[in-house]
Amino acid sequence: MFNRMPSFGSSVRMLLNMPRIPSWRLGWAFFAGVWSIYLHPRYIGPLRKIPAAQVDWRTSLYRWLWTEPSPIQLLQWAKSIPNDGIIRYTSIGGTPTILLLSSEAIKEVLVTKHYSTFEKPLLARQRLGALSGYGLPASGGEAHKMQKRKLLPAFNFRIIKDLYPVYWTKAGELSSLLASRFHQEVAAGGKTLNIDVLEWSTKVTLDIIGIAAWGRDFNALRNPHDPFIQDYERPFKPNKGGIFMKNVALRLPISVILKLPTKTGRDLRTAMTAARIRCRQAIEEKKKLKPEELEKSKDILSVAMKSGAFDDMALVDQTMSILSAGHDTSSLSLTWGTFALCKHPDVQAKLRHEIRSMLPSPSAENEDAVDPALLESLPYLKAVTNEILRLYTPVPSVRREALQDTTICGHSVPAGTSVMFSPWVTNKLELHWGKNAEDFVPERWMEGDLANTGGAADAFAFSTFSQGPRNCIGQGFARAEFMALLAALVGRFEIQLEDPGYEPEPLFAITVRPAEGMRVKLRTDGLW
């Protein structure tokens, strides 16, 4: 139907295999590159009418050879290029990519035409599966539909409500441990407790997802030296080599990455092995339960086993996927949220006042005192939670691929076209959020007729948990967990950045994390 643009790689392979004089081959290869990267997409290809990012040839060559444009660059293009809902840019390897911006474009790709016309690319699913198991996030098509349908009972409101005591107890355990360390610092002559929030948030969310995923507390908060905890946490720690390895990972199969003699490769192998061993152990323990005991169990593994839809290998994959996705994104939300509150001490103080006025301290005797209705009744806590999730979405971008010739917003799109949807971008666009789109304003979720959507005209503007059939199955879980952790931390402590001028460098990969962690100073007055 449409003129398909040949990839640069296929053009080069074809031309270099021609029986030409060697000196001609280099010339043909150069022409193939210019044709694929510049001439065809700009003057001939079916995407040529879509507004495009214009960069100089040096930048184009660098991006073709080495890196993807970051969400920060995508946001700049989205703000500066006049468009009717989509723009295009050149991705790694000279791949033309469409970036979705308007609610109409997002709805068309992620909802209306999903499964039938647009799907998560096979290569992306293979990479994700190799890293964290071939569970729900790495599945596609009918397999994804079936898996999500079978797993949904583990994420209904009643199950999430029953987990509130777990969230609150673990939040209290975290705040009590930090308070104890603070008092030790004061006794030794210090004035504050200095910590890396990312390190502690990783531990507490790992404990929570362990209980929710298979009914087991990993006890990472109390026993951080456990071999499994150390092995599993290592890839999630700040790593200055992470940016380099991310770029390498875009060029090599994940099977090769995992075999590289690098720290990243070793850490990933160790973490995956440790997680698979624990998952298999948990499955064997569940098999030993009496039928009535398994029936009463409401953790995700038990629900998956009761569905009868998964064999042991698939159960391991599902549990690994939930374990990885469920704790990493939550820990990053708490980390970035802490940064936002440090940058806005007035918001932090107002939130602390509301928490102390309406919630009991998360001590052992109060572990059952906070139910969903009480936590949800705090309007400013809900507003701050939404604003953090909007501005600091833990998953910065999602890629789709056109399975057949189609259209987006009336523009012709050939099969095989790469489509990018970036919550990091849409959550900050003036198009959706007004002139203060990039400002931290929790009040947008409390004032006006559109308070339920933060002032946005429709629900597609808030894209943190994605949209459509592939939206986050655990978003209710993630929100409740985040609110409990944020309430316990802010209610107990005054939090400041260790370095007041610190601006964390976002490391964009599957998730977005501060490249060097998040160092803060804690101080408590003991009044809550």
Question: Which residue intervals of 94-152 are DSSP H helices?
Answer: 103-107, 122-132, 141-151
**435: confidence class by pLDDT, cuts 50, 70, 90:** very high
What are the structural domain ranges in the chain? 8-121, 141-394+464-523
Q: What is the rounded CA–CA span in Å between residue 373 and residue 480?
A: 11
pLDDT digits (tens, 9 = 90+) for 355-398: 999 999 886 566 566 778 889 899 999 999 999 999 999 999 99
497-515 pLDDT tens trace: 999 999 999 999 889 999 9
CA angle 48, 50, 51 (to 5 degrees): 110
10 — pLDDT class (breaks 50, 70, 90): low
Average pLDDT of the residues of the chain = 87
Q: Which pLDDT tens digit goes with each residue over 228-284?
A: 888 888 777 666 555 555 555 555 666 666 677 777 778 878 888 888 999 999 999
**Tokens of residue 136, six digits:** 């729900």
Q: Residue 262: what pLDDT? A: 73
Q: Which residues contact 511 (CB under 8 A, 6 or more apart)?
A: 328, 329, 332, 394, 395, 396
Residue 487: pLDDT band by 50, 70, 90 thresholds? very high
pLDDT digits (tens, 9 = 90+) for 177-212: 999 999 999 999 999 999 999 999 999 999 999 999
Confidence (pLDDT) at 130 = 78
Torsion 397-400-401-404 (CA) sign: negative
Q: 3-class secondary structure for 416-458? A: CCEEEECHHHHCCCHHHHCCCCCCCCHHHHCCCCCHHHCCCCC
Q: What per-residue confidence (pLDDT) applies to 526? A: 83
The per-residue DSSP string of 185-197 comes to: HHHTT-S-EEEEH
pLDDT surpassing 50 at residue 521: yes
What is the rounded CA–CA span in Å between residue 497 and residue 503? 10
Q: Is residue 342 a known part of a binding site?
A: no
Do 389 and 333 contact (CB within 8 A), yes or no? Answer: yes
Share above pLDDT 90 across residues of the chain, in percent, rounded to a whole number = 59
Domain 141-394+464-523 CATH (choose: 3.30.365.10, 3.90.550.10, 3.30.200.20, 1.10.630.10): 1.10.630.10
